[in-house]
Structure 1
Amino acid sequence: MKKKLCFECDESKGFGVLEKIYLDSLKDRRIVLNQEIDSEVFDLVAMQIKKFNKEDEGKPIEERKPIELHINSVGGSVYDGFGLISAILSSKTPVHGYCDGYVMSMGFAIYASCHKRFAGRFSNFMYHEISTMAWGKNTEIEEITKENRRLAKMYDDLIVERTNIKQNKLNLVKKGKKDWFFGVNEALDYGLVHEVI
């Protein structure tokens, strides 16, 4: 079952341990993204990035305290993921991505969008072709296929633009219909990770 954070309770009613850790981390501009990407994650993460940018209005970029985004996610909704990517890329306050465990699928793309990227030495990464369930009449399936191609191009363009990974490498992964797993040393070579911590 998916983890849900409860933000409706206050200190007098008591927080769960995870909720308290999450809220304490926010005070230091650390955002934790450790679940499947969906509209709730967009609300929690993107809105916090926008809030910190609002707090920093008028400050030179070099004087802004970076936002730390700690990602441990297997991916999820492509649309919600791109919404979060837009929030990161449009953030004037630097967003630093941290991978301590794994970033996969849409989590991989979100991590790649961060302005500076850190990873632990046992971190793991996974890229694969976007997937969807399609059913209905032939014309409906054709429309979904067309939309998937558009989203896949956006996804690949982001990876190619923000790393040293070439499009022909991504095409080979998709042609083999497989998931591409790799570790931190390869991620460094590919320019996905900037610094191992």
Structure 2
Amino acid sequence: MIIDHTFWAGQPLPRNVIPMVTETTSRGERSYDIYSLLLNNRIIFVGSPINNQFANLIIAQLLYLDGETSRQPIQMYISSPGGEVYAGLGIYDAMQQTNAPITTIAVGSTHSFGTILLAGGAPGRRYALENAAIHMHQPLISGGGISGQVTDIHIHAQQLVRVRQRIERLMAHHTGKTLEQIERDMERDFYLDAHEAKAYGLVDEVLTSPVSATIPQLAQIAETVTTEE
């Protein structure tokens, strides 16, 4: 988790490398890029470093889905190296304000604020795939953006402490661990596998069977689309 400075510069994928799929309906066929199709089925993919630009995209998708009449769960797949704390907090707050329950699924690895988003899913709806790696640590400052008088640096340090305490309270709330344990564990890089993350309280279940068998929306997509060659 990074304060104020962009450590990971997520860039949009070129259009020619985004897979296209064709949806067949009673009115004919329509082609979508894969992310639009997933969004149409209430699935959001958090697969990039978290910065302000990426956070705006995720928040916009949450607002769009929350504005629909459907209150079906929103599925959020997370495979992220983390990123900026304030951008991550924006996504987290939007998740908590959404009326529909949000299912979070760890894919590959969740690092830093990616793990906070994973833990922030609806109770009973937080999952990890069997080989996912889960990581957390205290917030840090990366880059050379802080300078000035000693007083100014002291102000930044005080704010960093407040942010760390806020993050620790969030993690204690979502895991059921004490603040003291969260503080100890986040003092340095802390890694867990999927089953350890379940025991820790970061996720509710480890998915060992096909995901579509657990999450109905994915089975529905498989029935309605064919990959465009």
- TM-score, with normalisation over the residues of structure 2? 0.74
Query: Which of these residues, 162, 187, 197, is aligned with residue 150 of structure 1?
Result: 162
Task: Give 4+ residue runs of structure 1 displaced > 6 Å after superposition.
Answer: none
| 2:194 corresponding residue in structure 1 | 184
C-alpha offsets along residues 137-185 of structure 1, whole Å, 9 cap, x if unaligned? Answer: 211110101111111111111100011332222222355xx20001111
CA distance in structure 2 between the aligned counterparts of 1:174 and 1:96, rounded to whole angstroms: 24
Q: Post-superposition shift, 1:15?
A: 5.6
| 1:9 corresponding residue in structure 2 | none
CA distance in structure 2 between the aligned counterparts of 1:164 and 1:184, rounded to whole angstroms: 17
Query: Which of these residues, 177, 180, 183, is aligned with residue 165 of structure 1?
Result: 177
CA distance in structure 2 between the aligned counterparts of 1:190 and 1:174, rounded to whole angstroms: 13
What 5-or-longer segments of structure 1 have no aligned partner? 7-13
> Mean alpha-carbon deviation: is it higher for 30-39 or for 159-168?
159-168
| 1:124 corresponding residue in structure 2 | 133
CA distance in structure 1 between the aligned counterparts of 2:79 and 2:11, rounded to whole angstroms: 13
| 2:11 corresponding residue in structure 1 | 3
Query: Which of these residues, 33, 39, 54, is aligned with residue 46 of structure 2?
Result: 33
C-alpha offsets along residues 72-126 of structure 1, whole Å, 9 cap, x if unaligned? Answer: 0111010010000000011111111010111111111111111121110111111
Q: Percent identity?
A: 25
User: Aligned pairs, how many?
Assistant: 182
What 5-or-longer segments of structure 2 have no aligned partner? 1-8, 21-32, 208-229
**Which secondary structure state, in structure 1, belongs to the residue aligned with residue 141 of structure 2?**
coil
CA distance 1:194–1:173, shift in 2 (3 Å)? closer
CA distance in structure 1 between the aligned counterparts of 2:19 and 2:49, rounded to whole angstroms: 16
C-alpha contact (below 8 Å) 1:164/1:192 kept by paired residues? no
Q: Post-superposition shift, 1:29?
A: 0.9
Cα-Cα RMSD: 1.8
Of structures 1 and 2, the one scoring higher in RCO (CA 8 A, sep 6+) is 2
